Homo-oligomer: A and B are copies of this chain.
């Protein structure tokens, strides 16, 4: 999730990514991450439950940003337009560090437990967006369809961006995908 925050948590995140990339995720221990970051394992566990969660730091903040952004969208915006505005805010939060995102996705893609965690994260975004749309008065199934389709578009765009050369910004790739949503 974008650049690491300053402080111990950010140093741990940075150290974990370096080690996962150098040695592999399976071969890296919490003790090694803590050592590289210059803190104790005890400090590691103050910030993260396990080495998996380091890769998902900031997930709650992103979901909160999604929901908070919904309130700023003009009420006459379509459900999908509202979802797109919320995802724009998330993309701004993730930032445009292509190399960081590419490395992170490579680690996630090659580990089933990380892929499952990533899917759970995106499903939580979708649920939060559908809840937010219903609170804006959008009926079902329109709320869930806009949320699920919007997150599906994000997922495709994010994969395209991280596996591509990084010559375009993530927001550009995502807007392009939003313009290509297929209908029956």
| A binding-site residues for B, Cβ under 8 Å | 78-81, 84, 112, 115-117, 119-120, 123, 140-142, 144-146, 148-149, 151-153, 155-157, 159-160, 176-184
Contact check, A149 vs B152: say whether CB atoms are below 8 A apart: yes
Chosen A-B contacts, 20 in total, with CB atoms closer than 8 Å, are: A84-B184, A115-B120, A115-B123, A116-B116, A116-B120, A119-B120, A141-B157, A142-B180, A144-B159, A145-B177, A148-B152, A148-B155, A149-B149, A149-B153, A179-B184, A181-B181, A181-B182, A181-B183, A181-B184, A183-B183
CA distance A81 to B182 in the complex (A): 9
Q: A116 contacts which chain B residues (CB < 8 A)?
A: 116-117, 119-120
> In this complex, what residue of B is CB-closest to A117?
B116
Q: Known contacts A119-B120, A145-B152, A145-B181; can you find 7 more A-B pairs with CB under 8 A?
A: A79-B182, A80-B182, A112-B120, A116-B119, A119-B119, A144-B156, A145-B182
Q: Which of B80, B144, B156, B157 contacts A183 (CB 8 A)?
A: B80
Q: How far is the CB of A168 from chain B (nearest CB, A)?
A: 12
Residues of B within 8 A of A183 (CB): 80, 181, 183
Q: A119-B119, A148-B152, A157-B141 are in contact. Are A178 and B182 (CB under 8 A)?
A: no
Flag if A80 contacts B120 (CB, 8 Å).
no
A78 contacts which chain B residues (CB < 8 A)?
A: 182, 184
How far is A156 from B144 in the complex, measured between Cα atoms in Å? 6
B residues in contact with A151, CB < 8 Å: 152
Identify A141's interface contact among B80, B112, B145, B156, CB under 8 A.
B156
Q: How far is the CA of A79 from the CA of B157 in the complex (A)?
A: 17
